[in-house]
Amino acid sequence: MLKMPSGIGLITTLFGLLTFAQISAGTTQTSFLSNVSVSTELGDIVGFVTDVGPHFAADIFLGIPYAKPPVGELRLETPEPVEPWSEPLIAHEFSKACFPHYIGDLSTVDTYGEDCLSVNIFRPHVQFHKPSTGWPVLIYVHGGGFSVGSSRHYGYDDISQLFVAQGLIVVTINYRLGFHGFLSTGDEILPGNLGFWDQTEALKFIKKHISAFGGDPENMTVWGLSAGGASSSALSLSPHSRDLFKNVISQSGVVSAVWAQDNAVVNATLELAGALKCNDENSEKLKQCFKAKTPLEFLKAANEIGGARRGVNLLKYHPIIDGKFFPKNILELITEAPPKPAMLGFTDQEALYFTILGLSKSINALIPPKPLTEYNREDFVQAVKTIIAPDHQHSEKASEVQQKIIDFFLSDETPESNHSFYLERYTDLFTELQFAIPILFEAQARQVAGSEVYLYFHNYHNRDMYGPDVPLKGSAHANEYPYMFGRHGVIRHFQWNEDDYKVQRAVVDTIVAFAKTGNPSLPSLTWPKLTSENPLIHLNINPNPVVTNGLLAQKYSFWQNLTNEYDFDYLLYKSKNTGEKFHSEL
C-alpha cells in the first residue's frame, strides 16, 4: 500500500493551470532515523534520513534557500543568488509558501511569507548504489495557475517511494506567484515573469550544487503539470534557462497556451493598481507604490477585482512575452533553441475540471451560470459567440466563424433537452483551446525543430471518482496527481483498484525512464517519438497502454484551417496582429 505524503490527507487540486492543497487528516508520518549532512560551497546543510518503504530509506533536505528573500527593495525585482551561511543550515522543515493571488486561497496547511524562495531535495540514502556520474535529477515545478500552491503540498514520502527509490534525486521548488510573481506594466520597469526568473535562479542553484548531494548536473530533467508544465516548457526555451538542464516533461500545459503567455496581464495589473490606489501612470512611480503595499493589501485588492476571467485565458496574472525572459515569440524560440528531449501530453477531459466540476473557483469562471440540468443548445451557441469567437475577434466575419465552430461541434439532430451532450461539447471547446491544441502545436513544432518528442494521451479515470450528479465523466485536469503524489483523487476520494495500480506504474515508470535516458520507453513498452510521417503518434495511458496514431487529428485540422483562413490564430488563441511573426504551416 502507498503512503500519503507527510501530514497530508485530502487533496483539492487547483488549476495547474494547477496545483493541489493536501490537508492533514491524521496520516502517519514517516520515521526519523538520523540526521544527514552535506557540505556545499555555501555551507553545510543538515537534513534527515527517513524510511519510505520496507527496504528503502531516503535523505530529505527541506527549505533550502536558493535566492535572497525578495523583500524590501528586492520585492518585484529579479532574484539575487543566496549568500553563504556560517552555521550549518538545518533543513528539516518546508519553507513558507509564497503568497497566492487571492485571499480565498490562503490555506491552513501553509504558513505564508515573501521569504519563500527555496528548494527541497530528496535523494536515495547514501548506502544506496550511486552511478559513477551521480544520480539523474528530476526537478518538479508545481502548478496552480501561476497563482497558488507550494512545494509543501507534494510532501516527500510518495515522491521518495515512487521516484527516488528508482535511483533518482527529486527536487521541488517554490517561486513567486500571482501579483508578486507575474504582474507586468508591459515595459522595462515591470516587464513581468518574475516567477520564471525565480525558477531559473533555482535551476542555477541546483546545477551548481547538486553534485554535493550525489546528483548528476549534466542529467537534469525539469517536470511540471499545468502551470508547472507551462513553466517547464518556458524554461526549456528561454535563452536564460534552456542550457541548464537536459530533458523536459510538460503535462497538461505548455507555454504556447494563451494562459501561459499573454499581454492581458497588463490590464489586470492596472486594474490591481487602481484597487490599491496606486494610480500614477508613470511605471516607476507605480512600482514604488506597489513596493510600499503589504501582502495583505495586495490580497484585499485582488479580492476586490476578482480572481479570474471568463475566457480561454482564465488567469489574471500569468507570463508575458516581455522581450527579456522571452526575447522573441514562442515559435521563434522553439525553432532556435538547442534540441531537447521532450515528453508532452494531456488528459481526455481536461476542462471538465473547470466547466462542470467548477473547481479552483479563485482562478475559474467557466462553470455555466445556470443549473447544469438546464444547459442547452442556445447556451453552447452563446459560449461560442461571446467567449470563443466574439464579434471583436473577427469584425465583419465574426458570424461566419462562429457558425463554422457551431456546425463542427453540434449536430442538427441532437435533442434540445440533451443537456449532457451540450455540456460535453462545451467542455470539448475549452479542453481543446486551453490544453490539447496548443500542446499538439508545440509537440509538432519541437519535432520539426529537431527535438525528440514523446506525446501521450491520458484517458483513464476511476469510475468511483464521480458521483451520479456529474453529467460528464472522464480524465479531468490534474487526474495524474494521485498516481504521482498520493492515493486520493482530485475530485474526491476513491477506492483504488487493480487498474489504478497499473496506471500508476505506467505514469511513474515512463517518467523515471525518461529522466534517466531521455526516452520514456520501458522493457515491456516501446514508446515511439514523433516523426514528420507520424506527427500525432502517441501513447494512450490507461491500464493497458497502447501506441496509437492521429491524436485528435480531425480536431487539430479544424482549428488549423480556421487559423489559416481568418485573422485569428486558434492554435495559440491570439490575434495575428500582435507584432509577432505568425506561423501558417509547420
Which residues are designated catalytic? 226, 350, 477
Pair 407, 519: CB distance under 8 Å: no
Give me the phi and psi of 471, to 5 degrees please: -75, -15
Q: Residue 354 burial by CB count (10 A; 0-12/13-18/19+): exposed, middle or buried?
A: buried
Q: Which residues pair with 541 in a beta bridge?
A: 458
Pair 207, 220: CB distance under 8 Å: yes
Give me the phi and psi of 84, to 5 degrees please: -60, 160
C-alpha grid cell, residue 90: 538545518
Nearest Cα residue to 480 out of 454, 460, 453: 460
Give the DSSP per-residue string, 185-249.
-SSSSS---HHHHHHHHHHHHHHHHGGGGTEEEEEEEEEEETHHHHHHHHHTTSTTTGGG-SEEE
Using alpha carbons, list the distances in angstroms from residue 74 to 174, 180, 192, 290, 581. Answer: 17, 11, 14, 12, 35
List CB contacts of 566: < 8 A, sequence separation 6 or more. Answer: 394, 397, 401
Query: Alpha-carbon distance 26 to 12, whole Å?
Result: 17
Polymer length of the chain: 586
Residue with cell 490527507: 9
